[in-house]
Chain A
Amino acid sequence: MTDAFFIILSIVSVVSAILVVSPRNPIYGALSLLVMMLSLAGIFLQLTAPFLAVMQLVVYAGAVIVLFIFVIMMMNLEPAEMGEEKGFWYKMICFFLAGFLAVFMTVGIAKSRKALPDRFPEKATAEKVETKERTRLGRVDLVDTETGSVPETFGSTPRVGEILFNPYVVPFELVSVLIVIAVVGAVVLTKRKV
């Protein structure tokens, strides 16, 4: 069942990624990018990362793609302004370059398959495990210390929030400064000179 979901979502994401980079009209590319991000959010959910799946929907699909669509529609490009595409042979060479990259990395992953675990570790549920552990926020969580299984609330919002605010608070604050810088920069760059 999880395998079927993963195969369907991965096919959807690859097909929509190909549809991002190939069409003529950038709006179709933006809409395909939206589909790709939705399918990746589904895969994130399968990877026990519910907080990041929702963040992907809110930040990426909800803000970045909307920004792209706004800018594309605001610029209102004529076909003459969009420019010509490169020739067929140039695109073929690029296809072989990217294909070589994909094949090279896939062969590397396949060769190192013995070093990678062949199944994801399971989540500790109440039937299997009894040890509870108190997290920093004072919540109680099921943890299995013998086998390598992940805690029960892995990837949930309180857990990610704990690690974001305790060890990694400095990157968190720096990223908020970065976003302010980006907003100011975008406003300055697009101001009309009056």
Chain B
Amino acid sequence: MFNLSSCLILSTVLFAVGVWGVIARRNLFFVLMSVEVMLNAVNLAFLGFARCWGGVGSLEGHRGHVFVLMIMAVAAAEAAVGLAILLALFRTKPSVDADEMNLMKS
């Protein structure tokens, strides 16, 4: 029951929940948090595969772990910059609604 297929299916379901959050929510906080959900789902998929092919050679098996570490670092950087952009937007117009950010609309 606990095998690669079930890990991948869990990763798929989490990713789909994240996709729903990104496209269906207007509040920009929820968009950012849904992006984090999607990144975590992808991390799970990487680690599932790394566990399966870790016996080929000890270096090749840990590639998945290194990639997950890179994803975690990039996600942290992206969360920081995304929240900074949100704060800067909030100062120009006191709203976190994605549909109200329409200053460039003709």
A: which residues have CB within 8 A of B? 2-3, 6-7, 10, 13-14, 17-18, 20-21, 26, 29-30, 33, 36-37, 40, 43-44, 46-49, 51-52, 55-56, 59-60, 63-64, 67-68, 71-72, 74-75, 77, 81-86, 90-91, 94-95, 97-99, 101-102, 105-106, 109-110, 113, 116-121, 133, 135, 141, 143-144, 147-151, 154-155, 159-160, 162-164, 167-168, 171, 175, 178-179, 181-183, 185-187, 189-190
Per-position contact with A for B1-20: 1 when CB-CB < 8 Å, else 0?
11111111110111111111
How far apart are the CA atoms of A5 and B30 in the complex, in Å? 29
Q: How big is chain B's contact interface, by range?
A: 35 or more
Identity of the chain B residue whose Cβ is nearest the Cβ of A85 in the assembled complex:
B26
* Contact yes or no, A98 B66, CB < 8 A: no
How far apart are the CA atoms of A147 and B76 in the complex, in Å? 38
How far apart are the CA atoms of A37 and B98 in the complex, in Å? 26
List 24 A–B pairs whose Cβ atoms lie within 8 Å, in order of A's numbering: A2-B2, A3-B2, A6-B2, A21-B25, A21-B30, A33-B36, A47-B51, A48-B51, A48-B54, A56-B72, A68-B83, A84-B26, A90-B24, A102-B15, A110-B9, A116-B4, A120-B4, A149-B55, A150-B61, A151-B58, A154-B62, A167-B59, A178-B77, A186-B81
Other contacts beyond A6-B6, A109-B12, A144-B55: 16, CB < 8 A: A14-B14, A18-B17, A26-B27, A37-B40, A43-B44, A44-B43, A48-B51, A49-B51, A52-B43, A86-B24, A94-B20, A109-B8, A148-B55, A160-B65, A164-B66, A189-B84
How far apart are the CA atoms of A75 and B68 in the complex, in Å? 31
B29-50 interface (Cβ within 8 A of A):
29-30, 32-34, 36-37, 40, 43-44, 47-48, 50
